[in-house]
Every structure is written in C-alpha cells, then in structure tokens.
Chain A
Amino acid sequence: MKNAFSKKLVLWSLVWFSVITLSLPTIIVVGASFTAGDIIQFPPEGFSLRWYQKLWELEGFKQALGRTVYVSVICTLLALPVGTLAAIALARYRFCFANLIQVYLMLPFTIPLVVSGISMMIFFGEIRILGKLWPVGVALCLINIPFMIWSVTASINALDPELENASYNCGAPPVQTFFSVTLPSVMPGIITGALLMFILAFNEFLVSLFLTDSRTVTLPVQIYNSIRSVITPDLAAVSVLYIIIALVAIWLLDRLVGLEIFLRSK
C-alpha cells in the first residue's frame, strides 16, 4: 500500500509540475490582456477591454491576420491531396527504394527549419516569386507535410485491405472503391492531418520570417517583431486570439475524431 502511495506521489507531482509549466503562460496571457493599465505588471491595474478595442482599430493587425488565414488555407488545401495520396501510396503499394523514399519524405523534418527557410528564400528569389504570398503557403505545407502523411498512414494501417478487395469482388470499379471504401475509412486521419496542417501553418514563425517582407508579414512574424521592441498589452490580446483558435481546433479534433486517437499504441 505504501508502495502504491509513493508511486502516485512521485508520478503525479511530476505530471502536475508539467501541467502547470504547460498552462501557466496561457493563463497569464489571458489575464494580462484584460488589464486597464498601459503596461503589463502584477498585480494588474483593473479590468478593461480597451486593448481588444485597440486591436480592432489596428489596420495592420487585421491585414496580417487575413494574410495568415490565407497562407494557412493554401497550406491545408495543398496538403489534403498531396499528403493523403502519398500516405495511401506508401501503405498500399510496393516500391523499389522504399527506404530511400521514406528518408526523402522526412527531409522537411530532418533539415533544420532555419536552413529550410533560407534555402527556400534563395530558391524563390531565383525564380522571382519571393515577396508573393502564395509561395509562403506552399512552403508551410512543405515543412509540415510529414505530419499529414503520418496522420493518414495511421488510419490506413487500421483499415483492413480485405475491405477494398471485398469492394472489388462486389463489382465496384477502382474509382468507386477509392471514393466509397478507401477514402471514408481514412477520414479520421485526413481530418486530424488537415487540422494539424492548418494550426501549424497558423503558428509558423521561422520560415515565414524569411519568406515575408513588410508588405506580406504574417501574424506570428509581426508578434515576434513587436516582442523584440516594446511589450504592450495589445500583444496579449493578439495572443488570446491564438488561444481561442487553438481551443477551437482542439474542440473540433475532439468532436470529429476524438483526442483519444493519440493514445493508441500504433
């Protein structure tokens, strides 16, 4: 009995330490955004919504938000077919050099982001598309595409290949089998992957830093630039926007596929 108690004590204290460390910045940012004062300080100076109001009046913020949504949508729309098809191909077909293909498709993760970002900046500069907004979406899709492939692969591995064979056996031609058997059964993976792609693109900072300029700056880059100068409470209000979007994404993920999907053994 004492045994079980000491185990619980040690494990739960480590877990609670982690929970607090993970959540504290979020909670503090929410609190700080409602301050009535001109600077962030503790204890805060009363309650107000003035920083949200100020945020709403900032034209630059709204434009940066619009651009961020735009690149995130491009990233997600591109990742949907590209990642899904690649995952199906990897799980269902045999390739020569299969290992080499795996390593190649993992390059976006193995190459440091700072190197990927500058490499793409050079390449986009050479083909004269640097400074446009859509290449940023493509680049964000590129650096996160392994997440999409992983999520879809996980659902395909759970799909019994005999189902597809049964569909062929019942006389369904390949395209119909693809749309009415393969695609619906990998849907949880596709939804998870698409949500991840959107939210990661929405947050991505380093690659966007290299690919945007003052005319095409996205929200994370703008926050970074502001942090480096003066820390004002309007940044806290922007951060609250990020927290709300993250909460919506978690809620959607839980509703559509269930967060417990991440607790599976493989």
Chain B
Amino acid sequence: MLLPGATRREFMKREQENRLPLSWKLLDGMERVVAFVWPSRFRHAVGWWFLLPALALVGILLIGLGYMVQYSLHELDISTYRLRADYSLANFATFLERPVYMRVLVRTLLASVIVTGVTMVLAFPYAYQLVRVRSAAMRKFLLIALFLPFFIGQVVRAYGWLIILGREGLVNGILGQFGIAPLNLLFNYPSVVFGLIQYMLPFAVLLIIPAVAAISEDVELASEGLGANWWATFRHVLLPMARPGLVGAGIVVFTLTMTDFAMPEIMGGGKNDFFASAIYDGFFQLSNPGLGAALSIILVVVGSVIVSGAFFLAGAASLKARGGG
C-alpha cells in the first residue's frame, strides 16, 4: 500500500483515533455488564459484595476453629488412639490436674510481661527519635535498621543469635581472646526473653510511631517553656498523649510473645517451652488431639481475657484522667 506521506500521516492519525475509543468501548462494555448483573436497585449491597471475599477467607479459619472446639470436647481412647464419641470435659480437667501445664503457662506469662516492659522502654525512644530527628539520612538509617529484621523473619534471626551466643560463637570468641572460658549463653530463659525482645521491637516501634507523630512539637516546647525539664515533659506530656498507641503496642507485643513458638523452641533448647510448645506436643508428641485442642482453647481464652482486661483498665484509667481533669 503506497500512500503519499501526508495521506499516510492522515491514515495513522485516524487509526489512532480509532484505537483510542477501543479502550473506551471496553470500559463501556464493562459498565454495561456491571449494570446488567448489578442493577442499581442492588447498589446498596455493593459494600457487602466487596466484603464477601474477605469474609469467606477468614471463614476458613472459623471452620477450623469449630473443629478445634469439637476435638477439645472428646477424650482420647488409649486402647484405639481415637477420640471417643461421647462429649466430656476430661481434656480440660487434665490441664488442671497436671501441674506441668500451669508451670508452662506461668513461665509464658512471666516472659510476656518482661518482654512487653523492656520492649516498650526501647521502642518509645526509638519511635520518638524516628519522628523528631532532623537529618533525613539518619531517619532513613533508623527506618532501614527497623525494617530489615522485620522483613527477615523469626527463624533466620534466631539463627543469627545462635551463632552469636553459641559455644563457638562471637561472644565466646571475644571472651576467649581475654582468656575467659566459654560461657553457656544459650538455651536458657534469659536468652529466649532476649530473642523475643529483639523480635518484638519493630512491631512495637511501628505501632507507637502514629501516636508520637500525632503530638505536635509545639506541645513539648510549651511544656519546656513553662519550666519543665525534658524528663518531666516526657513523663507528664508525651507519655499520657501517646497512651493509646502505647497501650495498643503493648497489647500486641504481649499477645505475640504469649503465643510464640519458634523463639522458645530454638533459643530455649527444649527446657524453656512456652504454651504453644505444649499445644504442639499435645498434638504431635502425645498424639492426643483432644488434649492439644483443649490447650489451644485455653490459650485463646487466657489471651482474650488478658487483652480485654487491659483494654478495660486502659479505658477506665483514661476516663478517670479526663474526669479528674
């Protein structure tokens, strides 16, 4: 097809004009399809349709939990290694009868309290400096130092601690230079707690940041202008204003620690198991799904009670503070 230059340009132009409406046609077609399958009288339900996939996805978990509740109500028949058909609360009685489970629960809760306390003490200054720091490069550095471990995952991080704290590890290597005999730094309660603090720190900082960012720097200046030193400003202005964020972060850290499995397993060396390990052993070592399911239910209930208690106390305290002026 030989066309003079001008005509060809004309042709290309028309071609382009023809092509542009194609996407419009496509969109019009979609509009018509949507209008057909979804007449305007259904419009009020559009939100529910948008929500439906998410509701269905979480429904999988709900069905699984239903099985869990059902399992927990049947006792294991030792002769056949199957769950008995009749309903009983025997699995929950086992939990109360065997002191080992109470001991594991107390160990787990104690660790959760310590980890939450220390993490908050470290996370609040981190979040504060991250929000307030003037240098953009420093801010980026602090953000990367925060996100890198967050994105690396628990198992790899625990592995890092194993080679730092192990018998041939970094710390013992340095101590050896000074002629100090290798120490047993791993596989004890403090090392589990330490590993968990390092694991929880990014979560806590990311949750506290919005609360700190919402506080205007002028408020701090006003407090200092009125003669408060920085500690008083921190104690009486910043902390109360950031409270909702701190409570939220504390609750998240507490529940994540309480239900953690990998850190106690890897850094605890089998002697410092948390409640999640007891559940795991119930299912896979004792092969008693009834008991394992009952322990799962107990963990969920204990966690929910503590979380709602914390919310209730925090809510009541903030009401009191508001009422008292």
Given contacts A227-B159, A265-B214, A266-B214, contact A41 B173 (CB under 8 A): yes
A119–B65 touching, CB < 8 Å: yes
* Interface residue? A160 (CB, 8 A): no
Please tell me if the beta carbons of A104 and B58 are within 8 angstroms of each other in the complex: yes
Find chain A residues with CB under 8 A from B250 CB.
none
> CA–CA, A22 to B129, complex, Å?
16
User: Chain B 154-165, CB within 8 Å of chain A: the 1/0 string?
Assistant: 111111111110
A26–B148 touching, CB < 8 Å: yes
B267 to chain A minimum Cβ distance, whole angstroms, is 10
Q: Interface 1/0s, chain A 209-224, versus B by CB < 8 A?
A: 0000000000010011
- Knowing A22-B148, A262-B143 touch, does A86 contact B50 (C-beta < 8 A)? yes
> Which of B30, B151, B279, B293 has most chain A Cβ within 10 Å?
B151
- Known A22-B202, A138-B60, A266-B210: A227·B51 in contact at CB below 8 Å: no
Binary CB contact string for chain A from 4 to 25 against chain B (1 if under 8 A, 0 otherwise) = 1011001110110111011111
CB of B319 closer than 8 Å to a CB of A? no
**Which residues from B are CB-within-8-Å of A245?**
151
Q: Check if A246 sits within 8 Å of B151, measured CB to CB.
A: yes
Given A114-B280, A224-B266, is A89 in contact with B60 using a C-beta cutoff of 8 Å?
A: no
Question: For residue A205, which residue of chain B has the nearest CB?
Answer: B155
Q: How many A-B residue pairs have CB under 8 A?
A: 287
Question: B161-174 interface mask toward A, CB cutoff 8 Å, 1 = contact, 0 = none?
Answer: 11110101110111
Could you say which residues of chain B place their CB within 8 Å of the CB of A32?
163
Which B residues touch A18, using CB under 8 A? 122-123, 125-126, 201
Instruction: Let me know if A122 and B147 touch, CB within 8 A.
Output: no
A242-B153 CB under 8 A given contacts A18-B126, A110-B304, A235-B159: yes
**Which B residues from 43 to 98 make CB contacts under 8 A with A?**
46-48, 50-51, 53-55, 57-58, 60-65, 67-68, 71
Identify the interface centre among A11, A141, A145: most chain B CB within 10 Å of its CB. A11
B61, A239: Cβ atoms under 8 Å?
Answer: no
Q: Is B299 an interface residue (CB 8 A)?
A: yes
**A142 and B61 contacting across the interface, CB-CB below 8 Å:** yes
Closest-by-CB residue of A relative to B141 is A19
Tell me whether A220 and B153 are in contact in the complex, defined as CB-CB below 8 angstroms, given that A18-B201, A250-B148, A263-B130 are known contacts: yes
User: Does A58 reach chain B (CB closer than 8 Å)?
Assistant: no
- When the two chains form their complex, are residues B283 and A118 in contact, meaning their CB atoms are under 8 A apart? yes
- With A41-B173, A203-B151 known as contacts, the answer to whether A94 contacts B47 (CB < 8 A) is yes
- Bound together, the chains give a CA A95 to CA B125 distance in angstroms of 39
Query: A189 interface residue, CB < 8 Å from B?
Result: no
- Taking CB atoms and an 8 Å cut-off, the chain A residues in 250-266 that contact chain B are 250, 253-254, 259-260, 262-266
Contacts of B46 in A (CB 8 A): 89, 93
Total A residues in contact with B, Cβ cutoff 8 Å = 101
Set of chain B residues within 8 Å of A111, measured between Cβ atoms: 61, 65, 300
What's the Cα separation between A204 and B172 when bound, in Å?
A: 31
Enumerate chain A residues within 8 angstroms of B61, measured Cβ to Cβ.
107-108, 111, 116, 119-120, 142-143
Report Cα–Cα, A32/B162, bound state, in Å. Answer: 12
Tell whether A22 pairs with B160 under 8 Å between CB atoms, given A122-B64, A126-B67, A266-B210: no
In chain B, what residue has the closest Cβ to A220? Answer: B155
**Which residue of the partner chain, among B123, B126, B149, B293, contacts A26 with CB atoms under 8 Å?**
B149
- B contacts with A: majority SS: helix
Size bracket of the B interface: 35 or more
Residues on B with beta carbons closer than 8 Å to the beta carbon of A46: none
In the complex, what residues of B have CB within 8 A of residue A49's CB?
none
| Inter-chain contacts of A247 with B (CB < 8 A) | 148
Specify which of A115, A141, A202 lies most central, judged by the most chain B CB atoms within 10 Å of its CB: A115
Q: Is the CB of B189 closer than 8 A to any CB of chain A?
A: no
The answer for the CA separation of A250 and B306 in the assembled complex, in Å, is 35
Contact with B along A80-124 (1 / 0, CB 8 A): 011101101110111100000100110110111111101111110
Q: Are A15 and B148 in touch, CB under 8 angstroms?
A: no
The distance from the CB of A165 to the nearest CB of chain B, in whole angstroms, is: 15
A174 at the interface (CB under 8 A from B): yes
- Identify which of B54, B64, B166 contacts A119 (C-beta below 8 A): B64
Q: A110 to B304, alpha carbons, bound, how many Å?
A: 8
Q: Which of A24, A42, A92, A203 contacts B152 (CB 8 A)?
A: A203
For residue A231, CB closer than 8 A to chain B, the reply is: yes
Q: Given A14-B121, A104-B58, A123-B67, A175–B261 Cβ distance below 8 Å?
A: no
Whether B163 contacts A29 by the Cβ 8 Å rule is yes
Residues from chain B with Cβ under 8 Å of A88 in the complex: 50
Question: For residue A127, which residue of chain B has the nearest CB?
Answer: B63
Using CB atoms and an 8 Å cutoff, list the residues of chain A in contact with chain B.
3-4, 6-7, 10-12, 14-15, 17-19, 21-26, 28-29, 32, 39-43, 78, 81-83, 85-86, 88-90, 92-95, 101, 104-105, 107-108, 110-116, 118-123, 126, 138-139, 141-143, 145, 149, 173-176, 179, 199, 202-206, 220, 223-224, 227-228, 231, 235-236, 239, 242-243, 245-247, 249-250, 253-254, 259-260, 262-266
Known contacts A24-B164, A90-B51, A247-B148; 11 additional CB pairs below 8 A are: A14-B122, A82-B57, A86-B50, A86-B53, A86-B54, A88-B50, A110-B307, A123-B63, A204-B153, A205-B153, A263-B130
In order of increasing CB-CB distance, the 5 nearest A-B pairs are A25-B160, A93-B47, A42-B173, A203-B153, A119-B64
